[in-house]
Every structure is written in structure tokens, then in C-alpha cells.
A and B are shown apart, each in its own frame.
Chain A
């Protein structure tokens, strides 16, 4: 387990726009299984995410958390069951994969910015070449999101000139420029210094406040308590337990969950 901390962003969360839809399904994972060779990495995953949900997935390393969210935008292929994103079922059909990826943003542990492009080019590349938005408009959108993540002055620098926290905020802005309906976060703060974790969490919280549907794989239990409406605990490729954060932390049911929480919360 790397970097388990209880970073709490000290401010009131504005919940006025955080509404979970009762009828609109964003992601539906049904009886899904995945194998790496002979290794059964995801087993019988059933997960329905409603529009506007903020889900935190927790669990020990190797429990399949990252693999699960990587299946949702088909960076990994599943072998059994169904994954339906915004009504599109993921199959080997490239058209469907592109359709899903256009609507689903992803933020990685190691940022994965494009080092040969400036920050602005990182942000405008996909809008221009995937969505076909005119360059000027894409740049205006990019600047808007850079301001939202509070680093508009870095627009013409290269990723390597930025701190880790800044790079991760750029990565979030890059995803937002595609105006996704769903955001996936794969341990977005695990590679950051403690001082920088907060600035990234701030951005994620403000996203949640706007009603973005998000799934976050993270060890930031403070974030889970403050922002999530549901915490999912995984172990050995399976969903072991899920609950509202309050209940999940104060009253875990499964033995494995209790053990996990006792180890990471002091």
C-alpha cells in the first residue's frame, strides 16, 4: 500500500448540484469477468453507476480496482459479461470503443501528458482531431479549463517544466476539454508529494460539485468521506462490500473490509 493519508480539504462542500439521477444509468457492468492469461483477475463484477454518482473504489493492491475502471473505457478487454457505457455496449467493434472513449475521460496515476507538446497543445489535440472543433475554439475551451484548475499561466510550457501536482491538474483539464460525461480516476494522487495531493483533490471536489459522474480508484479516504456517495471495496478481483461512506467507514460488515480499514485508518 502506498501513501495512505487522510487529506481533508478544509472547506464546506457545496452539494446543491450533486444530484444522483434515479433513472439515468451511466455505466452498467453485468456479470463481468476478465482473465490475464490463466489468471482470473476480475470475477463476477456487477456495478450500476447512475448519472451524477461519485464512487470511490478502495482495496488492497492487486485487487483489480484499476483493471475494472480500465475495462470501462476498454483500455483492457473483458472476456465475459457486459459493460454498457451511456447505452453503448463495449465489444470488439472499434466504432463503439471510440464512441465510449469520447464520452469518458480518464486520469492516470502517472499523468501521461504528452511530453513533446505544450500544455495548450496537450489540451487541444483531441478536441481538434477527434471532435473536429476549430482550433481557436478549442484553445478558448482549453484556457477556460486551465483557469479552472488554476494554472492558465503555464499554457505555453512543456509538461516536464511543471510540478507533479500541476501536471495532474493539466491531465484533468485535458480530459475535461473533451467534455466527457463520465470521469475515471486511476489513483490520481498516488504519485504525488503530500503537498500536491491537496491541490489535485481540490480540483476533483470542484468537479464533483458540478455534478460530474465519477469513479475514483484512490487511497484518499478523506476524499471518499467528503465527496463519495458510495464506496466500493474490492479484494481478489471481486466487489466485497459497498455502502455509503458514513456506513462503510463506521460500520463495515465483511471481515476483509474491517481488516483493510483497521490497517489504513489509525
Chain B
């Protein structure tokens, strides 16, 4: 007869995990060579890196002509990237046709922007509210007058002369920032119980999403003036800004809608039962949770928009990529086998740096905002 009664005499103490689950060897075993297939894939991966990385390093660094090099060095058969070219044309890549003597103006804008943006991004720095107000309201006004001039004795600088990274940053920053609240309002409108508001929002979102950005830019720059009264002109940059912002707003709206739908109905009901009005429910309860869910989507959209700004070349604006392309094609004194490649490599590196920063920062924010405990 088996004994079915049992009483544990003493509780078992916790002890460290067995050796085979920790340490470098265990890590290798688990992550790289767990199965024969894994081992083969690891091997192929290693071979691919060996094949691809050294030539790239050679081209970009070892055989490259440094920023103080000459065009003759760039024209040598074995030379790598021609950084001297990028360096000598840097001002055009960053500012476009902006007057050389006035470059201090965009420089102040860059410096001011960085000085306001960086503390805003670091959670520990105080005065977030003031900081945000300065960055979102005061800074754009100052920047506009500084860049455009025509006041306080500043030389007027039409937007046709703006270009390069300056234009890329202006369009993407304005597009990303302004489309965010617009998108939220569109998303809320789409969920509204009021039929007219709902229809307007759905109509706008579906129309804009169904059309390529290029078409919207074309419409804004070529079609729009046809409908305007004779003699009135709207600045080309402004038209591009409006087009890009509205385009992005439609996408943000759909991303935010996804987040809103992830919020359980109980949250709305609890907020309502406490007597919170619709806007307070949204502001305090629903949006903070919904937006947290959609940070990856929002940042994805921001990154896509940042890169899409290069499409403004279609309406004749010289953003960073177009500025590089222009010089690649026209800077005859720098002609060599690798000049164009180096130019594009530079543009790619700049785009990558901004996009990667956005991506990393969003991951940091996600971790920080995650209270870690879903109900």
C-alpha cells in the first residue's frame, strides 16, 4: 500500500542556477550553436561579415582621402572615399544657397534648437513646461525672423535660397511636431459620436492616405496657386510644409486610433463614472495610455517622414539629398571615380544618424514610461 499522506519537513532554500546556464560558453552554446542549423547559420553569418566589412572599412577609412586631401588624390585608381569633396562643399550641403556672409543666422537657429531640445529630452532636467513652451512657440518665431530676415536690419533671405540640411530639418521638424496634435484630433474625431465631425475626419484621413506624398506636394505647389486669386502667392516652403504636415497627420491619426482601440472600455467607464468630462477623460486617462502603446508607430512615422522630406526636390527645393545630388552633378572641379558615391554616402550617414537617434530615444522612452504592470 502506497502512502498518500506527506508533510514537508523543512522548506528548500533557493540556490544559484547550475553552471551550465550561465557564463560565456553557455551563452555561445545557447545563442550561436544550439542546433546544427544554428551552427551552420552562425558560420555563414561570420563568413558574410568577413567578406563585406573589410572592403567597406577600407573604402570609408583606410584608403579614403581625408578632408584636407586634394582632387588629384581622389582621382588615384586605388583611392577610396573622397571626403575632401564633402568637406569643401559642406556649406552647400547644410545651408543651400544661403548667403555665405549670413550663415551665422542658421547657425544660431541650429544652436538654439539643440540647446532647447536636448534638455527637453533628458527626463531629469527640470522646467519641462517652460522648456517645451520655449521650443514649440518662441523658438519657431525667432527662427523664422532670423532665417527669413527683413526685420531688425537683417538682410532679407527668400526661402528659395534656403537649402540642404537646413530645409530637411525644418520640413521634418515642423511636419513631425505639428502633425502630432493634428493626428490626435483627427483620431478622436474619427471616434466621435457626432456624425458630421466623424465623416469629415474619416473623409480627410482616407483621402490623404489614398494619395502619394508626391501628389500632395504637386497639388500644393502647382495646383493650389491656380485656385488662388491673381497676385497672391504663398511661399513655396510654406506650401511644402503644409502638404507634408497634413500628409503625416492622416497617418498619425490612424496610428493613434490603434492605440485608442487598445484601451479597455472599463477605463472610459471608470473615468466617466468619476464625473470627468470628455476632454478630461481623454487628456488624463485615455490618451496617456493610448499614446504610450503607439510610441513605436509614431516614431516609425516620424522616421519615414524625415526621409520622405527628400521628395520636396519634386517641387524644386534643395533638401540635403538634392543638394548633394546637385553638387555631384555640377562640381566639375571635384570629378573623380568616387565623388558621387562619397556624396551619397555622406547623405546616407546624416539621414541614418538622425533616424537612428530617433529610434534609440523612442526605445528609451518606451522603457521609461512602462510602469511594467498591466492590469
Assess the A116–B269 pair: CB atoms within 8 A: no
Assess the B373–A174 pair: CB atoms within 8 A: no
Please tell me if B300 contacts chain A, counting CB pairs below 8 Å. no
**Cα-based distance from A232 to B245 in the complex (angstroms):** 58
**Cα-based distance from A152 to B156 in the complex (angstroms):** 64
Kindly list chain B residues whose C-beta atoms are within 8 Å of the C-beta of A125.
274, 276, 284
**Cα-based distance from A114 to B373 in the complex (angstroms):** 11
Please tell me if A138 contacts chain B, counting CB pairs below 8 Å. no
Assess the B276–A129 pair: CB atoms within 8 A: yes
**Cα-based distance from A262 to B372 in the complex (angstroms):** 45
Assess the A101–B272 pair: CB atoms within 8 A: yes
Q: Total interface residues on A, using CB and 8 Å?
A: 30
**Cα-based distance from A75 to B267 in the complex (angstroms):** 12
Q: Total interface residues on B, using CB and 8 Å?
A: 23
Please tell me if A178 contacts chain B, counting CB pairs below 8 Å. yes
Please tell me if A130 contacts chain B, counting CB pairs below 8 Å. yes
Name the CB-closest residue of A to B289.
A116
Assess the A116–B288 pair: CB atoms within 8 A: yes
**Cα-based distance from A161 to B372 in the complex (angstroms):** 9
Interface residue from A73, A94, A115 paired with B273 (Cβ < 8 Å): A73
**Cα-based distance from A197 to B374 in the complex (angstroms):** 22
Please tell me if B266 contacts chain A, counting CB pairs below 8 Å. yes
Assess the A129–B289 pair: CB atoms within 8 A: no
Assess the A126–B272 pair: CB atoms within 8 A: no
Assess the B374–A106 pair: CB atoms within 8 A: no
Assess the B373–A115 pair: CB atoms within 8 A: yes
User: Which A residues, 94 to 152, have Cβ-Cβ distances below 8 Å to chain B?
Assistant: 94, 98, 101-102, 104-106, 108, 110-116, 125-126, 129-130
Assess the A114–B277 pair: CB atoms within 8 A: no
Kindly list chain A residues whose C-beta atoms are within 8 Å of the C-beta of B371.
115-116, 158, 160
Please tell me if B285 contacts chain A, counting CB pairs below 8 Å. yes
**Cα-based distance from A116 to B284 in the complex (angstroms):** 10
Tell me, rounded to whole Å, the shortest Cβ–Cβ distance linking B55 to chain A. Answer: 50
Assess the A160–B275 pair: CB atoms within 8 A: no
Contact (A174, B272) CB under 8 Å given A115-B374, A160-B372 = no
Assess the A116–B273 pair: CB atoms within 8 A: no
**Cα-based distance from A217 to B80 in the complex (angstroms):** 78
Name the CB-closest residue of A to B370.
A116
Please tell me if B292 contacts chain A, counting CB pairs below 8 Å. yes
Interface residue from A104, A160, A178 paired with B374 (Cβ < 8 Å): A160
Please tell me if A159 contacts chain B, counting CB pairs below 8 Å. yes
Interface residue from B272, B280, B372, B374 paired with A129 (Cβ < 8 Å): B280
| Chain B binding surface SS class | helix
Assess the A126–B274 pair: CB atoms within 8 A: yes
Kindly list chain B residues whose C-beta atoms are within 8 Å of the C-beta of A116.
288-289, 292, 371
Kindly list chain A residues whose C-beta atoms are within 8 Å of the C-beta of B266.
108, 110, 112
Assess the B275–A115 pair: CB atoms within 8 A: no
**Cα-based distance from A112 to B286 in the complex (angstroms):** 12
Assess the B275–A126 pair: CB atoms within 8 A: yes
Kindly list chain B residues whose C-beta atoms are within 8 Å of the C-beta of A167.
375
Please tell me if B43 contacts chain A, counting CB pairs below 8 Å. no
Assess the A75–B269 pair: CB atoms within 8 A: yes
**Cα-based distance from A110 to B265 in the complex (angstroms):** 11
**Cα-based distance from A125 to B285 in the complex (angstroms):** 10
Contact (A174, B274) CB under 8 Å given A75-B269, A112-B269 = yes
Interface residue from B269, B275, B375 paired with A98 (Cβ < 8 Å): B275
Kindly list chain A residues whose C-beta atoms are within 8 Å of the C-beta of B280.
129-130
Kindly list chain B residues whose C-beta atoms are within 8 Å of the C-beta of A104.
273
Tell me, rounded to whole Å, the shortest Cβ–Cβ distance linking A178 to chain B. Answer: 6
Assess the A178–B373 pair: CB atoms within 8 A: no
Assess the B275–A101 pair: CB atoms within 8 A: yes
Contact (A113, B274) CB under 8 Å given A158-B373, A160-B373, A160-B375 = no
Tell me, rounded to whole Å, the shortest Cβ–Cβ distance linking B173 to chain A. Answer: 28
**Cα-based distance from A167 to B289 in the complex (angstroms):** 19
User: Which B residues, 244 to 288, have Cβ-Cβ distances below 8 Å to chain A?
Assistant: 264, 266-267, 269-277, 280, 284-285, 288
**Cα-based distance from A110 to B267 in the complex (angstroms):** 10
Tell me, rounded to whole Å, the shortest Cβ–Cβ distance linking B26 to chain A. Answer: 32
Most buried by B among A101, A115, A129, A174: A115
**Cα-based distance from A129 to B284 in the complex (angstroms):** 10
**Cα-based distance from A112 to B270 in the complex (angstroms):** 6
Contact (A178, B275) CB under 8 Å given A75-B269, A116-B292, A129-B280 = yes
Name the CB-closest residue of B to A110.
B266
Q: 5 closest pairs, A vs B, by CB?
A: A160-B373, A112-B270, A126-B274, A112-B266, A106-B273
Other contacts beyond A101-B273, A110-B264, A171-B270: 17, CB < 8 A: A75-B269, A94-B277, A98-B277, A101-B274, A101-B275, A106-B269, A108-B266, A111-B375, A112-B264, A113-B270, A116-B292, A126-B276, A130-B280, A158-B371, A160-B375, A161-B373, A174-B274
Can you list 12 A-B pairs with a CB-CB distance of less than 8 A?
Answer: A98-B275, A101-B272, A101-B273, A102-B275, A110-B264, A112-B269, A114-B270, A114-B284, A115-B374, A116-B289, A116-B292, A126-B276
B residues adjacent to A (C-beta < 8 A): 264, 266-267, 269-277, 280, 284-285, 288-289, 292, 371-375
